Amino acid sequence: MGRYAVIGYPISHTLSPLIHNANFEAKGTADQYSAIAVPPDQLMHIRDTIRSEGLAGFNVTIPHKEKIMEYLDHVDADAMKIGAVNTVSVDGDVLTGHNTDITGYLDAFNQTFGRQHRRILIIGAGGAAKAVHRAHANNGDTVTIAARRMESFQQFRTVDFKAVLISDIPDLDPHDAIINTTPVGMKHEDLFEEMEIPHSIITEDTLGVDLIYQPERTKFLEYFAEGHYMNGMPMLIHQAMDAYTIWTGEQGDIAAVNRKYKAHIGGKS
């Protein structure tokens, strides 16, 4: 039996145990996944935690995604490019960091919309935006990132995108897909009203992605045509299943996880 976990602080609201344990159940393994609260001043003892919990691998969430890199032996190239790790594989004493937010997002996007070269507009320039940007850059897309303050771009380790202010968006050339990576919409706010962006930037062909998964369809996504939008749930599930593949070499049961997740949120959005 393998033991896996997510570490973060606070950690009580994480959906990762539900997702991973649904997958383990579907795969018929006795593996277990739990949430471990690791306060920031305890992260330095991560190797003790791995030993005492018997972890074969673990996920990393807020606020440890950047700081964990100091305690790892290796970090893969994409995680290094965005300066954040969300998945660690444990091979004896050797710890290797990965970022499956990048691969999980890209799998979700390409499976939903198909792969082709696109002009992408990312709204927001925080941690999730860095993963989404890396994904689209790896996909060969042309990426523009819009932030409310230019200082946000100082946190990026690569410069392979166009950096603009959100207030510049109305003056930009059209985009094929618009991605919301800000939390605006979680409380049913209308992103276009809140950020004073005219929704005329959307045509009936424009794709829309919101990383938010609750509510299931934000006001932002309501502006996009049927079949042209995706919420954050497929990314959440794919990043988890990509971590499972890193740990075990096997493919996760995405359909089973989807069913479990939908039953869990039923009626809540």
Residues engaged in binding ligand NAP (CB under 6 A)? 101, 124-129, 147-149, 152, 166, 181-184, 186, 194-195, 211-213, 232, 235-236, 239
Helix, strand, or coil here: 16? helix
Distance of CA 28 to the CA centre of its chain: 27
Q: Which two tokens stand for residue 48?
A: 């003790």
The least distance separating ligand NAP from the CB of residue 168, rounded to whole angstroms, comes to 13
Q: Which two tokens stand for residue 215?
A: 């509510």
Closest to ligand NAP by CB, 5 vs 243, is: 243
Nearest to 245 by CA among 128, 109, 131, 100: 100
Furthest-apart CA atoms within the chain: distance in Å: 56
How large is the angle between the packed helices 16-27 and 233-248, nearest 10 degrees?
Answer: 60
The residue at minimum Cβ distance from ligand NAP is 126
The least distance separating ligand NAP from the CB of residue 212, rounded to whole angstroms, comes to 5
Closest to ligand NAP by CB, 213 vs 224, is: 213
The least distance separating ligand NAP from the CB of residue 189, rounded to whole angstroms, comes to 8
Closest to ligand NAP by CB, 50 vs 230, is: 230
Measured in residues, the chain has a length of: 269
Q: What is the C-alpha to C-alpha distance for residues 20 and 253, in angstroms, rounded to an integer?
A: 10
**Residues carrying an active site annotation:** 65
The least distance separating ligand NAP from the CB of residue 138, rounded to whole angstroms, comes to 17
Closest to ligand NAP by CB, 141 vs 242, is: 242
Q: Residue 120 contacts by C-beta under 8 Å, 6 or more apart in sequence?
A: 136, 141, 142, 143, 144, 175, 176, 177, 178, 179
